[in-house]
Amino acid sequence: MLWVRWINERRQITNFGHEAGSLQPRRCAVAELQLVEFDRARLAIEAATSIDEVKEIRDQAEALRLYMRQSQQGLEMQNQCAEIKLRAERRAGEMLADGLQHQGGRPKPLHDERVLLRDHQISEIQSHRWQQVAQVPEEAFDAYIAATRDSDTAELTTAGLLRRPDAALRSSEAVEWYTPPQYIAAVREVLGGIDLDPASSLQANKVVKAKQFCGKDSDGLTCDWPGRVFLNPPYGGASAAFATKLVQQYEAGPTSAAILLVNANSTDAGWFQPLWAYTLCFTNHRIDFVSPAGEGSGSTHGSAFVYFGEDASIFGQVFRRFGPIVQVIMEAKDG
């Protein structure tokens, strides 16, 4: 293994430097080895033909980064490992995006996404994050790495890349679509208020009026979601990670009640299956979502609201104006 061998060699070099009573031989040897293996890792990422190859490089780079931090080898070496990790995540994100589509560009059938991720031991949250990294424009990606190299104190991280203003997704205008006020009013009527919107923006929150919200600068997937939650996940393939996170947060306890808004065409997706355990409202019309510029979306599909909480009857009374209320009375039988 490329990175495992590098870790062992670094440990030997470190021990040699301490035993000899001088750090200079150790530093020279590490620097020489560092440049050789760094270039090899980059070439390996470019030459990789499978997600497993790229993920192995990514995991090894992360293990080495943690070792560098624990052994206090210096920020520069940590960041070189982090750069390999980030480049591997970018390549994996590209492969995942390609693997989750048919040749015609349509999403694959329902359970295929979850099967693909399980086969490669990749979580849905990791898949979402890596595809975000893959969508960052190349100029912004290279600029972030260069700026971090030039800094003596900045740490290279995936979150740091995605927080940059110039790292907005190429499809950002298609990612941000705001929920119209009449639906937010219904959400507030059922929940009694909104404590958190984990996928929002300052502009969107002028309508949602959540006490707290997570935007581009604070990735909602990395924190707990306490209290009453409203969630309209970002477009662009993020629904799986956000919906899965909401189910986890509600079942674990931080979230006391919630309403989720998702594409009704996703009912065959693996991530949608746990939602059948809750009360749903399938709209009898297409919601005209609003862009940051104030324009309507001209949506081509229906939507589904999913209620998490103890007052399903209140949810039904309020949301039936938007479409039929659904509760599963008998689960599908395998086979």
Mean pLDDT, all residues of the chain: 79
User: How buried is residue 321: exposed, middle or buried, by Cβ count under 10 Å (0-12/13-18/19+)?
Assistant: exposed
Selected residue with higher pLDDT from 290 and 6: 290
What is 81-98 written as a DSSP string? HHHHHHHHHHHHHHHHHH
**C-alpha separations of 256 from 287, 314, 326 in Å:** 26, 16, 21
Q: Please name every residue paired with 197 in a beta bridge, in sequence order, or none if there are none.
A: 213
How is residue 171 annotated by DSSP? T
Span 190-198, mean pLDDT?
A: 96
Per-residue pLDDT of 253-301, as tens digits, reads 999 999 999 988 888 888 899 999 999 999 999 888 876 666 555 566 7
For domain 174-326, the CATH architecture is 3-Layer(aba) Sandwich (3.40)
In the three-class reduction of DSSP (H, G, I as helix; E, B as strand; rest coil), residue 202 is classed as coil
Q: Which of 108-117, 155-164, 241-250 has the highest mean pLDDT?
A: 241-250
Q: Which of 5-19, 99-113, 128-142, 195-209 has the highest mean pLDDT?
A: 195-209
Q: How confident is the model at residue 125 (pLDDT cuts 50, 70, 90)?
A: confident
State how far the Cα of 98 lies from the Cα of 103, in Å rounded to an integer: 9
Predicted TM-score of the model (pTM): 0.55
pLDDT above 70: residue 84 = yes
Q: Please name every residue paired with 325 in a beta bridge, in sequence order, or none if there are none.
A: 281
> What ranges do the domains of the chain cover?
2-169, 174-326
Portion of the chain with pLDDT greater than 70, in percent: 74
